[in-house]
A = this chain, B = another copy of it.
């Protein structure tokens, strides 16, 4: 298990669809919650956002669905740094049925550091955040992520707002 534990959640009743499983979009919501926890870990927390008017915007999200999650399950999420540059972070989340169940999904986020305001624009990570990303990347090597090749690439990003 290559990732760093970052988030865990029970399943809310309204997440269950007509198939009796968690609806596809709610895997993304679980990963989005894990992304919030990742921001806190990297120092991009609420105090940072208030102080700097900077935050992360999601450019892309890609979910691979691998096994079902039901109402009685808990889901544990770990995070891997799949790539980064001076303003972007490519994060990989692995969702497992807790505590030792199979992988339910892998979710990749391409994230952009943005300064908000009248005309929001991308901004470089401050040094302390870049250091925190590097430390996390060292703790959670990208090689361990996913059941197959990664779907997103840094070289292809930078499109959205």
Tell me the A residues contacting B by CB distance below 8 Å. Answer: 18-19, 23-26, 28-29, 31-32, 35, 46, 49, 55, 57-68, 109, 116, 147-148, 151, 159-161
Contacts and interface: CB of A to CB of B under 8 A. Distances in A.
Given A24-B28, A26-B29, A18 B49 contact: yes
Q: State the main secondary structure of chain A at its contact with B.
A: mixed
A16 to B, nearest CB: 13
Nearest to A15: B29
How many copies of the chain does the oligomer comprise?
Answer: 2
Nearest to A55: B19
Contact of A67 (B26, B65, B151, B161): B161
A160 B24 contact: no
